[in-house]
Amino acid sequence: MENCQQNSLKKGMATATIDHEIEKPRTMINKAYANDMISDETVKTFKKVKKLTKKGSDIRDRILSPDEFKKLMECAEDHLKPVLACGYYTGMRSGEICALTWDKVDFAARMIRLEKGDTKDKEARNIPICNELYKILRALPSCIQKTDSDQHVFQYKGSGMKKADRNLKTACKDAGIKYGRFTKGSFVFHDLRHTFNTNMRKALVSESVIMEITGHSTREMFNRYNNIDDDDKRNAVNQLEQFFSNVTQMLPQTEQISKSE
């Protein structure tokens, strides 16, 4: 594995790409250990192989702006649009979206009700449906024609996203958005989860409520998906200036009270 890392570096591969490839044999080793096929010593040997990417530098921080989302929806194929909307308006994972069936969609309560077996962390979750997503889901032909309760909501049936990713790559190209996991400033489907978290926080939604909707069990994981951008920083300075302005307005009144005393 170490030789593989070095050979890949010589070929000019990005460290994040190399680390991604190394995870495959690492997963195989862990699985073998769990099945009592190899010893502790063998696992220790493989654990000596370290990631090349510095800790924290591989965390994605791409947020899709409202204008970018609008352009992407305009350029996306019809069967991809509702999938993108679901990711943008709910923060659901791609696997959860592609595997979603109509029996999990509660239109009366405007909730998507995921059971333990539907989520990555094996925790049931209720996700609210906003007005825009409600209209999109109601307009789907399968919503009208559904006969079985377990019928998939979207055309990308199952948990696979390969076809959807190919369609997304084309849509991004047409919308003028860089696509790819390992290119700086590029966009992938999972970034919609980052976008949802950040938009909810900017809308002043309680962090505990956001974590309940997205299924983040720890504050550390929530912080990874919540991005502070330049607009946040500008707003912070504006708030500071407003604070100074309020203090200045209060000073004459304070001085007057002091003199009267």
Task: Give the model's pLDDT for residue 257.
Answer: 46
Q: In CATH, what number is assigned to the domain containing residue 123?
A: 1.10.443.10
**Quick one: 11 and 102 in the same domain?**
no
Residue 23, pLDDT score: 80
Containing structural domain, residue 139 = 66-225
Structure tokens at 222: 């929530």
**Judgement on whether residues 137 and 35 belong to the same structural domain of the protein:** no
18 located within any domain: yes
Look at the chain and report how many structural domains it folds into.
Answer: 2
Same domain, residue pair 128 and 174: yes
**Is the whole model's pTM more than 0.75, yes or no?**
no
The predicted structure's pLDDT at residue 171: 95
pLDDT tens for the chain, 261 residues: list them.
888 888 888 887 777 678 878 888 888 888 888 888 988 888 888 888 888 776 544 556 788 999 999 999 999 999 999 999 999 999 999 889 988 999 999 999 999 999 988 888 788 899 999 999 999 999 998 776 665 556 889 887 655 567 888 899 999 999 999 998 777 789 999 899 989 988 888 888 888 888 888 887 655 555 555 566 677 667 766 766 776 677 666 555 544 444 444
Residues 100 and 20 grouped into a single domain: no
pLDDT score, position 160: 59
pLDDT of residue 147: 52
